[in-house]
Structure 1
Amino acid sequence: MMLPGPEQWLVPDWQPHSRVRALVTSRRGNHSPPPWDGFNLGDNCGDDSARVAAARAHLHQQIGTTKPPFWLTQVHGVRSVRYGDADRRADGACCDLVGHPCAVLTADCLPVLMARRDGSAVGAYHAGWRGLLAGMLEVGVQQLAPAGEPLSAWLGPAICQSCYQVGDQVRDAFMATDPGDGRGFREDGPGHWRMDMFTLARRRLQAVGVNDIHGGNLCTSCRLDEYYSYRRDGQTGRFATLIWLND
């Protein structure tokens, strides 16, 4: 059984402020057996709970933060909480304390990190198509920047347009909200479309004043050895996208 180290994880090429730290884990290692092959951090995908707890403890030890990552019970909604809130049923979390990592787990959905440009607060948000449509990112912006404080955002690994086919009902729902969202869909035969979550996320962030947007170029389904993909594999694990403040 092998636990991975930081050299097997991604440090985003994104520096909104010198206090901000960000990290994306991978599936590398063999801590969990098939079908969660690798370093699974998800506790709701069938893996042994003690094994997942050990993986999470290892991650905390490796990043060396004061507090462990704040793990959410993600529900594909638009609720966001603060680090330490008792009710963790949410799809986003923010924090303004040093050494308190916010985290989201994904395996095709889009993880979005945000930070105030002055380095005073950060947040992590989970957005699949339902979350994007319902306004998860707008909730995150309002949470982190209630007075319009300048924000920077980073779009983490998610399924790319070439790998993500959806039906008319999904495209129609987006078009009913904003006809301009049509640029996030490419026709793929009768009743089918290829959906670009990165483009749709950028549109939503820009609509609420966030124009400093980075990332959005890593596909979970294309990168078999790097990331978990539910669309590709069915039952599988989850990797984490984390953000925190450092001194």
Structure 2
Amino acid sequence: MTSASKKIQPGWVTAPSIQAFCTTRLGGVSQEPFNSLNLGLNAGDDPSSVLQNRSILRTAIPSEPLWLRQIHGINVSTPALRHSMGAGPFEADASVTNIPNEVLVVLTADCMPVLFASNNGDVIGAAHAGWRGLSGGVLEQTVKAMREISPKLAPQDISAWMGPAIGPTHFEVGEDVLQAFSEQPQSILSRAFTPISGQPGKYLADLYLLARDRLDSLGIAQIGGGDYCTFSDPDQFFSYRRDKQTGRFASLIWISA
């Protein structure tokens, strides 16, 4: 990537074979409001600029990423499914692999990217977790898919990193979002949803807390991240809630050969 690009490294301790980073909006060729390293082809940007940005990204990774057609769902792209379906992009909001140098990627601009790695470095996952996917179980499905391709893998042997997402002081939601998480403990809900004064039925939601609780429930003890807010950091991050028309940044992970 160019000298103007900036990569965010996950704050976790994993096997030496695990490589991962998150891009920012810096270091690309797209013009406003997609300036500059927009990697999303469906954001409204000039496709030629996006492809040039993806070429810039490609210089920092060992292979073309496994781009997904994200739909805010819970489907997981696996090596077996990719083999049976042929060429992508695949309609899914998460992917897993145990194949060296196969690069997993999710695109976000307020939703939460979550990266997973087994502690011995033999299997990885990446999930796109907005409130719909998070409440629907995309994290659970990702871990399930990892364990299916590595049957001896226990949840306590998985590390997770929550990448840049909209922070709890800016994510305004309605009663429908609260209800979507109603199965989580009341103690978590009371902390994750703060009523907005003077706006009945409106809340500030904490995606990081909701995700951490679900990861805890799966038995994953090593959970990092949750340190950024895409909405309040326009210099580094795209934010759909802030700008409406904007680009997408990428979170990527692979097992080095």
RMSD of equivalent CA atoms: 1.7
Amino acid at match of 1:186: T
| Aligned match of 1:144 | 146
Amino acid at match of 1:188: I
Identical positions, percent: 39
Of the candidates 20, 42, 45, which is equivalent to residue 43 of structure 2?
A: 45
Mapped contact 2:97–2:124 kept (Cα < 8 A)? yes
Give the whole-Å Cα distance in 2 for the aligned partners of 1:5 and 1:140: 34
Q: Does 1:159 align with 2:166?
A: yes
Secondary structure, counterpart of 2:216 in structure 1: helix
Q: Does 1:69 align with 2:65?
A: yes
| Aligned match of 2:215 | 205
The count of aligned residue pairs is 243
Q: Which region of structure 1 is more displaced relative to structure 2, 78-87 or 39-48?
A: 78-87
Of the candidates 191, 207, 211, which is equivalent to residue 201 of structure 2?
A: 191
Once the two structures are TM-superposed, the CA of residue 74 in structure 1 deviates from its matched residue by: 0.3
Q: Which region of structure 1 is more displaced relative to structure 2, 171-180 or 215-224?
A: 171-180
Deviations 1:122-147 (A, max 9, x none): 11100000001100000011111244
Mapped contact 2:38–2:50 kept (Cα < 8 A)? yes
Q: Does 1:217 align with 2:227?
A: yes
Mapped contact 1:4–1:28 kept (Cα < 8 A)? no
Give the whole-Å Cα distance in 2 for the aligned partners of 1:58 and 1:29: 8
| Aligned match of 2:58 | 60
Deviations 1:86-121 (A, max 9, x none): 450000011111111100000000000001111001
Structure 2 alignment gaps of length 5 or more: none
Amino acid at match of 1:242: L
Give the TM-score normalised by the residue count of structure 2: 0.89
Structure 1 alignment gaps of length 5 or more: none
Say if 1:40 and 1:103 are closer, same or farther in 2 by CA, change over 3 A. same
Give the whole-Å Cα distance in 1 for the aligned partners of 2:2 and 2:206: 31
Mapped contact 1:174–1:181 kept (Cα < 8 A)? no
Mapped contact 1:43–1:52 kept (Cα < 8 A)? yes
Give the TM-score normalised by the residue count of structure 1: 0.93
Amino acid at match of 1:232: R
Runs of 4 or more, structure 1, over 4 Å off, are none
Q: Which region of structure 1 is more displaced relative to structure 2, 47-56 or 211-220?
A: 47-56
Secondary structure, counterpart of 2:209 in structure 1: helix
